[in-house]
Structure formats: structure tokens, C-alpha cells
Amino acid sequence: MLLTEKIKQTKLSPAETTIINFMLQHPFELTQCSIQQLAKQLFVHPSTFIRLAKKMEFDGWLSFRQVFIEEQTYLKTRFQTINPNIPFTANDSEMLIASNIAQLESTTIMDSFDLLTPQKLKQAKKIFKQTKQFKIFGSSGNLMVAKDFMLKMQRLNCPVEMSDVIGETMYQAYNTNPETCAILISYTGENTAILNIAKMLKKKNTPIIALTSIGENQLSKYSDCTLFLTTREKLYSKIASFTINTSIAYLMDVLYSLYFSLNYDSHFKHILSMGQMIDTRQSSSSIMQEEKSAITLQYQDSFRPN
């Protein structure tokens, strides 16, 4: 749940409502004034700011203000020229539709990148160092997007299971251990089935990487590493889950790349060796055409010092 949504659902006093109205109208001016200055400007007692922060489950005004500003910054950045829920209309030309989808997907990737932090990526990589197998849990639509990750990991000879059989997910969660990395995907972070899986995984001491929306949700509380999905779409008032699917695909590619980088040389050699033996496709394009000896030389040259 976004902080702004939580605020709307919380019963506030008149003085607290005055503060919230100012915050919503002037979010980026909050850091320019102290509590005393704001209290004087809004004709409220300084202690009201503390009570408001506590009511919103923060330890103080500064932490509440910081999270609020970060959320407002996110919501007001990108997607200003395109609607993620309705990126095209019935009267748009074919090329305009194609252009809008291209803009939407490229914007989504940069938006997802901005939500990453070095700490989260390091944490994911740390989990991978002890991982012997992966298990992915999510709704059917999310699992379809994540299936490409499973195929790429299997080509690295890393076991990946994707639980998509109704009634079997809890058994899959039970059959995990600290050497399993569980990836849970839930846009809302409040999916009851996914939360039950997360509880089981915690009992089995299985590390969890969650892909979910920004803000406060239950899945993030169970996760050892939370990667945020672009959070712009309604649940169903939309043409399709364009940004959700693009965001999932991007983050899964990032996770694959982090795992690949742990043993970069051996993984690359494995991919090349496997491709040379199995991939017999031919192409008339010089761009696609492989020269097997040249591949090996190119790989070796890439690691030679300049």
C-alpha cells in the first residue's frame, strides 16, 4: 500500500488533516521548513507533527517526511506523457500505437532500474552464492513472464522449478531448504496464496527474493530481498499488464545476470561449448552467422589486458 493511500484510510484530527493537505499540495517544500516553522505557518501545535507520524507507524516526523517525499518523487517522475493503463486510444494510428508501446516499455525499464539500489543487488548476489536450486512462485500470468528466466538458468545447468499446478505450491514450498532461493512474484504483495507460501518458506529457512509493488505490503515483510516492480497500473482498469510484465521481465534478467556474473568465465565457456555442439542453425546474415573458431578467440580476447 502506498503511503498516500494509507493516509486516506486513516482517521485524522482536523489539525492532522491540515498538515496532510499541505504535504499533498507542497510535497517538495517540506524539507525547507522545520517543525516549528510549519506549525506556525499552519496554525497547529508542533506536537501534532509527531502524533501524525506515530499514527502512520513511523518513529518520528523526519522519517515520515522522508518516505512521503520519496514516494511523491517516484509518482511524479516519468509516465507524464503516457498513461500506463491506457497507452493508446481507439482512434490512434497503427504507428502511433506501436510508438506508444515502445515508449511505455522503455520508460518502464528505466523506472524499474531507478527502484533498484546497490544494497538490494548485493543482497541478491549474496543469496545466490549459497543457492543450489531456484523455485519460482506467482500467479499464472507472472509465471509466464518468468519462464524465460527458468529456461536461461536451466541452460546453465542450474535447477529451477516453477510451481504452476493448483494445490501443489505449498508442497513445493515445503520441499525447500536454505540452499533454495525462492522467488515470489506478486504485484499487490497481498495475495493470500503467495503469503501462505512465504510463511512456509520462512519455516524452512529458505531465502526469499520478492518482486512486488512499492509501498507497504505483507510480502515485503517476509522477503530477504525485495525488488520493486514499476507501480503504475490499476488492478483491472487497463488494456493489459504492459508495465507489470515488462518490469518483471527486466528484473528477472537482472537476477539472471547477477547469477551469471558469480562464475562469469565458467558460465560463458559453458554457453559457448553447448552452443557449438547443439545449435546447428544457419543464417544468411553475417551479423548472426557464427564462426566457431572466431567465437573462441573473441571470448579469449575479451579477457586479455589492454
d(CA 229, CA 250): 9
CB-based burial, 104-141: b 16+ in 10 Å, e otherwise:
bbebbbebbeebeeeeebebbeebbeebeebbbbbeee
- Determine contact, residues 153/128, Cβ cutoff 8 Å: no
CA dist., res. 4 & res. 20, Å (int): 9
Alpha-carbon distance of 66 to 174, in angstroms, equals 39
Q: Are 183 and 209 in contact (CB under 8 A)?
A: yes
pTM of the model: 0.83
Cβ-Cβ contacts under 8 Å for 36 (sequence gap 6 or more)? 46
Q: Classify residue 303 by burial, with Cβ atoms within 10 Å: 0-12, 13-18, 19+.
A: exposed
Pairwise CA distance, residues 77 & 288, whole Å: 38
> How far apart are alpha carbons 194 and 178 in whole angstroms?
19
Position 27 scores a pLDDT of: 87
pLDDT one digit per residue (tens) for the chain, 306 residues: 788 888 888 999 999 999 999 999 988 888 888 999 999 999 999 999 999 999 998 999 999 998 898 888 888 888 888 999 999 999 999 999 999 999 999 999 999 999 999 999 999 999 999 999 999 999 889 999 999 999 999 999 999 999 777 789 999 999 999 999 999 999 999 999 999 999 999 999 999 999 999 988 999 999 999 999 999 999 999 999 999 999 999 999 999 999 999 999 999 999 999 988 888 888 888 888 777 554 555 555 555 555
pLDDT tens per residue, range 189-199? 999 999 999 99
Q: Minimal CA–CA distance to 85: which of 233, 228, 277? A: 233
Report the C-alpha gap between 282 and 240 in whole angstroms: 36
pLDDT value for 293 = 53
Q: What local confidence, expressed as pLDDT, does residue 255 receive?
A: 98
Cα(292)–Cα(249) distance, integer angstroms = 30
